[in-house]
Structures are given as C-alpha cells and as structure tokens.
Structure 1
Amino acid sequence: MDFTTLSARQGKLMVSVGDSFTEGMCDDTLPDGTFRGWADRVAERLAQDDPQLRYANLAVRGKLIGQIERDQVPLAASMDADVITLAGGLNDVLRPRCDIELVEAKLRSCLEQLATEKATVVMFLPTDPRRRMRGSQRLMPNTHRLMKLVEGFAETHGVVVVDLFSARVFDDPRLWAEDRLHLSPEGHRRVAEAVLQALGAEEGFDWRAGLPPARPAPWFRARRQDLRWIRIYLLPWIGRRLTGKSSGDGRPAKRPEPTLVADATSNPAADATS
C-alpha cells in the first residue's frame, strides 16, 4: 500500500512490536518517563494526515524473538491494525549459542500471524555493526540469514523492508547512545524518516546523508570513555547474560492499548523528522 492510499484511510491503527529498538530506548524522554523512539515519531507523522490515528507500542527492551512471538504478536494480531512494525531477533543473535533456525522459525511465525490483506507490515534490515563495534564479525553469518529471510518476506508477503544495513551514516557514533547499542535521538529521527520513505511518504530529508565532520576526541578522553562504557554498560550486560536476567524482566509494554496519538505522545503534532 502506498503512502497516499494509506494516508487517505482515516481512523487508522498503527501497532509496533519488538524489543528496545522499537521501544525507543535512549531517544528523548517523554513526561511519563517512557522514551519517544522512531515508532512514536512515525505515528506522529501519520497522525498529521489522520488525526484519528490510534497507536499501540507493545515493545519491551531485552526481549527475545520467542518472547515477542508469545507475548506481543497474538495481541497485535487481534487489533486488526492498518500498519504493523515488526523488529526482533537481534537479541538472540547477540547470544553466543544462538539457535538461528529456531529464530528464523519464530520470526516467520510472527509474520504469518500479523500479515493480513489489510495490514501493511514493516520490517528491517538492521544496521551494520562491523565498522563501529569490535568483535561484531562473529554476528554476521546469523545476521545475514535474518536479512535474507526478511528480504524473502517482501516477495512472499508484500512486507515493506527498511534497509538500514546499507546506510553508512549509522557508522557515525553520534547516531548511537552512550551505551553504543541503542540509537541516539538523531538515530531515531533517521530511522523514522527511513520508515516513512519506505512507506512512500514525501521525502522530509535525506536520512542517509552524513553528519558534519566531528572533531576527533583526544586519545585519553576516548580511552576514559571506553573504560566508562565497560564499567557502566558492558559488565552489567555480561552479568545479566550469566544470570539469565533481562533488562525487560517485569517491564510492561510501552503502550499496551491503542490510543489516539494526541493521547499517546506528549507532542502529537511534531513532525517525525523534527
């Protein structure tokens, strides 16, 4: 479905499912304490053409694809949405003993439950971590398998695929938060624009364009930042892996019920590219 047709349909429902990427981790914080995130930004833009747009975001940080399939997808499928965004599986790939065949099966199950004649389903090719994260090469075989699966969904189910993998702008550390794992507000702004353009919206800006050159940090400051990252982010992450805990344990869905964007976000009139 193209953006013109989608925009003409009034009273639409947008539902997002996934993990921290879709929850909006490390974007601007809203008054209720949640993060804004690219999905909120997309909903805000869609609501400019459809003030009656309702929006639900079921994503929870740290969730594996099996948890997304079990806890989020059946609820999303029951909502009869017009636009559904689905992102998941990378938390599984990050784990050393990832069963990629099981991940593929779970992701396929998610799509089959969500894909309807009415719904426009949006999925992603993830950003390429190799140029910004040391040691990420080990993730690439499984990442490529997920990418091939998603690309196949475009042919078999008409999924709208947002290609973040080929966008070199995501090599820029300024598009990433201090934890180096989640997007910064600028990163979320870029992803929102990428989604909108993939849906066929008029270009708001070139989301692939590089940022102005940044002055390199002095060596000692960069090393101090590395040590801080290890202490605050890497070691706790390793600890959670060893104990089987997740940052999303006990955390409710971000926006479990479909509500008008005017009620679901603090800035409903904001352009997704702002």
Structure 2
Amino acid sequence: MIVGSYAAIGDSFSEGMGDELPDGTPRGWADLVALGLAAAHAAAQADGATGGAAATPFGYANLAIRGRLLGPILSEQLPPAIALRPALLTINGGGNDIMRPRVSVASTADRLVAAAGEATAADIRVAIVSGADPTRHLPLGPLIRARGDELAEAVRDRLAGTGIAYIDNWGDSVLTDLRFWSVDRLHLNALGHARVAGTVLAGLGVEIPAAAHAPSEAGAPDIARPRTAEYWRQYVLPWIGRRLTGRSSGDGRTPKRPTLLPVELPASI
C-alpha cells in the first residue's frame, strides 16, 4: 500500500509510551509505521509509480494521548484527525475502558467500528489497531484478559465485510512475554513497539524497511525490574489512586504531533 499521509489516534499505546527517545519524547509503533510508509512512498516516487506527479513529502500526525478512554479519543481526537484528511488513519482505543470496574464491551466495539465508518465515509483508509495483551504480568490479569478477548472478537465480527482493516496485536501470543514490556508492565518497551510496527505494516501490505531505526530482539538490553513490593508502590498504587480520584496520566497533555508534518527518513532506509 502506498499512501502520502498517515494519522494515528488513541491512548498511550499509540502515543508510544514505553519507547522513549533520549529527550523523553515517546516514539512507539505508530512513529515506526510512519517511517515504513514514508519509505514506501519515497520509493514509489523514485520509481515513477506516482504517475508523474510532483514529488511530495510524506506527512504524519499523531494525536494520541496517554490515559484516554475511548469516549474522549473519539470526541477529542477523531474530528481533528478527519479534518487533516490523511490517506490512512489508525484508530486504537478501549484498552483503558476494559480496565475500569464496569464496561460494556459491546458498546465499546460498536463505537470503535462506528468511528472507523465515519472516517471511511470521509474517503480515508482506516485500520483499527488493537493493543497488545499485558495481562499475564498484571494484577487482575485474568479478568482484563477475558474482556480483551471479548472486545477483539466483537470488533472483528463487526468489521466483517466492511473492508476496514483490523490489526490484531491482542492475539499475538509472542507479545505476552515480559521481554517486550517496559518496567511498568503495562506499556510495551522499544522491542515490543518494534514488533507491533512490523505487524501493522504487514497488515497494510507494506514491505518492512531495514530496521536501523528500531531495536532488534538480539540486541535488546535486559530491563532492571523492581521487586513485587516496590513495583506495587511505584506503579500499581499510583494507578489505583488515579482511578479512585478520576485523574489520568494524560491530564493536561496535548498531542505530540497534532498536524501532518514531513517524516525524515534515516539514511539507511
């Protein structure tokens, strides 16, 4: 698939938490997908596959914000994403919803698919991208896993025959291994995001470029992980506290890339 622009909306998964650059900015799978799409776009222009049209830079926007429930994603991020008129839009959401005490999985699936339909009606190609499954390493993991399984099945069933792509990272059993997760066990690390990027590009039918910009499994460093009591103190209890007080890790944050900006390709691609 050759497209000239791409936008992503969602929560921390699409923002790229767990895969931070040296300056602390989250990178993540969507940024890596943008690199792959930009490389394919540049190659097509070099080969003349654009029908003689003038060379144009590939544009990428990422409106995702950590901690967002599906409702705010669709009300705050979807309209401006559609207004950008990207050739491709990825939608991710619902992961924070299924971690709440009460959630309607059917309603969550309905809203995801309706949002994809809204963007499709605006002549934008859409892919719904599910988050990876962290539940093997989390408290209350079995409950959240059951909800995640139900959501994945519901979305898949609703998308049947629509032509809208569904990229299933939740069902990737390899990604459940702890080596793909950051120290908080809730967000993928650089290795996990790189695997998701490869899955998304493959699902879109794009040849995966040389991964000089992404870590390889062979070279991934071991992560120093806290003991159980320290882990609960540093990560679980603050997360519970935010839930009880109605706060979010994304409060006050703005999108890291709210407009379609050119993607700079590494020299090795």
Instruction: Identify the match of residue 98 of structure 1 among 87, 100, 103.
Output: 103
Give the equivalent residue in structure 1 for 2:253.
251
Displacement of 1:35 in angstroms is 0.8
* Residue in structure 2 matched with residue 265 of structure 1 by the alignment: none
How many matched pairs?
A: 248
Q: 1:85 aligns with which of 73, 86, 90?
A: 90
Tell me, in whole angstroms, the C-alpha distance in 1 between the residues paired with 2:34 and 2:179.
24
CA distance in 1, matches of 2:187, 2:154: 23
Output the amino acid matched with 2:19. D
How far apart are the structure 1 equivalents of 2:163 and 2:243? 36
Aligned to 1:50, what secondary structure does the other structure show? helix
Q: Which amino acid aligns with 2:25?
A: T
Superposed CA offset, 1:136-159 (max 9, x none)? 111244323321232135423212
Q: Distance in 2 between matches of 1:28 and 1:39?
A: 13
Aligned to 2:177: 172
Gaps in structure 1 of 5+ consecutive residues: 263-267
Equivalent runs, 1:59-208 vs 2, <5 Å: 59-116=64-121, 118-202=123-207
Which residue in 2 is equivalent to 1:225? 227
Deviation at 1:269, TM superposition (A): 1.9
How far did residue 182 of structure 1 move? 0.2
So what's the TM-score if we normalise by structure 2? 0.82
- Secondary structure of the structure 2 residue equivalent to 1:49: helix
Q: What RMSD, in angstroms, separates the aligned Cα atoms of the two structures? A: 2.7
Q: 1:45 aligns with which of 36, 42, 46?
A: 36
DSSP-derived class of the 1:121 partner:
strand
User: Measured at CA, do residues 202 and 257 of structure 1 come closer, stay the same or move farther in structure 2, by a change above 3 Å?
Assistant: closer
Percent of pairs with identical residues: 37
Q: Distance in 1 between matches of 2:232 and 2:256?
A: 28
Q: Is residue 13 of structure 2 the alignment partner of residue 15 of structure 1? A: no
Give 1:29-44 correspondences, 5 Å limit: 29=21, 31=23, 33-44=24-35
Q: Following TM superposition, by how much is the alpha carbon of 1:49 offset from its aligned partner in structure 2, in angstroms?
A: 2.8
Residue 266 of structure 2: aligned partner: 269
Name the SS for the 1:256 alignment partner.
Answer: strand
Partner Cα distance (2:146, 2:249) in 1: 26
- Report the secondary structure of 2:89's partner residue: strand
Residue 133 of structure 1: CA displacement?
3.1
Letter in 2 for 1:160: A
